[in-house]
Amino acid sequence: MGRMTAIRNIVVLTGAGISAESGIDTFRDAGGLWEQHRVEDVATPEGFARDPDLVLNFYDMRRAALAQVKPNAAHHALARLDAEWTGNLLIVTQNVDDLHERAGAARVLHMHGELLSALCSACGERSAFAGAMIQRPACPHCGARALRPDVVWFGEMPYGMDRIYDALRVADLFVSIGTSGAVYPAAGFVRDARELGARTLELNLERSEGSYWFDKTRQCRAGDLVPAWVEEMLR
């Protein structure tokens, strides 16, 4: 599946599987931070309203853990694609880490928000943030001590949906990497892409809940699959 197939515009979706190989816990894996908490307690607006200290401390720990990990071969391969691909490219990630950016990718959209960002519950502005929210720092825009993690929780609307669908409408190829195929709306992107005429490829450790919808699927570690696929595309 190289350039000779007249692919010009690409949308890549990345999920927890690509960052798991860097050592970042996912809420579906045993062990780590997520095993100590119920998702509804730390990843919903209701959980935040019920116990804000628990939620802020949880994301402070995740933010601190992020500093201890590094991008892996899959992140670096996508950064290479971003640097060398002359057509349109949008890397849509469900991950809230900054490993795509640290690897050097620029055409990245964080549909589920970012750990290194804060959202003010008072004024609605977003700002870069790398400290501890449990200390209730002031919003740099309005001064209110009402910051929360800039992470899209269950029941909230993901970021950038208009931009994502605009990219899917012109995409020649949709590639899903390291996703479970279980979290919507991202799990529906493959069907949207197919209906709009794009070819579809899944790169995953194992078959996902959405594998059926892809034209082709490849199973292995992202750190092996993604560099090989990028090499194919850039030949």
Structure confidence by residue, pLDDT tens digits, 16-54: 999 999 998 765 555 555 567 788 999 999 999 999 999
Spatial distance between the Cα atoms of 134 and 21, rounded to a whole number of angstroms: 29
* Co-location of 102 and 167 in the same domain: yes
Concerning whether 100 is annotated as a catalytic residue, the answer is no
* Co-location of 168 and 228 in the same domain: yes
- pLDDT grade for 4, boundaries at 50, 70 and 90: very low
DSSP state of 137: P
* Co-location of 104 and 37 in the same domain: no
First to last CA, the chain: 10
Number of structural domains in the chain: 2
* Co-location of 104 and 142 in the same domain: no
- pLDDT grade for 3, boundaries at 50, 70 and 90: very low
pLDDT digits (tens, 9 = 90+) for 182-204: 888 998 999 999 999 999 999 99
| Residue 16 belongs to domain with CATH number | 3.40.50.1220
What is the span of the domain harbouring residue 82?
3-24+71-112+157-233
Instruction: For residue 186, give the 3-state DSSP assignment.
Output: helix
Write the single-letter amino acid at 204: N
Give the neighbor-by-neighbor strand order of the sheet with 113-120.
126-128, 113-120, 147-151
The set of residues, in sequence order, having a beta carbon less than 8 Å from that of 43 and lying 6+ positions away, is 27, 151, 153, 154
DSSP state of 233: H
Average pLDDT of every residue of the chain: 93
Beta partners for residue 200, in sequence order: 174
* Co-location of 15 and 48 in the same domain: no
* 79-87 CB contacts, 8 Å cutoff, 24+ apart: 79/103, 79/104, 79/105, 80/230, 80/234, 81/10, 81/12, 81/230, 81/233, 81/234, 82/106, 82/107, 82/108, 84/234, 85/10, 85/233, 85/234, 87/7, 87/8, 87/9, 87/10
* Co-location of 77 and 40 in the same domain: no
Instruction: For residue 151, give the 3-state DSSP assignment.
Output: strand
- Determine which one of 75, 100, 112, 141 is catalytic: 112
pLDDT digits (tens, 9 = 90+) for 203-214: 999 998 889 999
State residue 150's pLDDT score.
98
| Residue 58 belongs to domain with CATH number | 3.30.1600.10
Closest C-alpha to 210, from 233, 235, 176 = 176
* Co-location of 125 and 224 in the same domain: no
* Co-location of 60 and 76 in the same domain: no
Across the range 179-184, mean pLDDT stands at 86
Over pLDDT 90: what percentage of the chain?
86
* Co-location of 10 and 101 in the same domain: yes
* Co-location of 168 and 196 in the same domain: yes
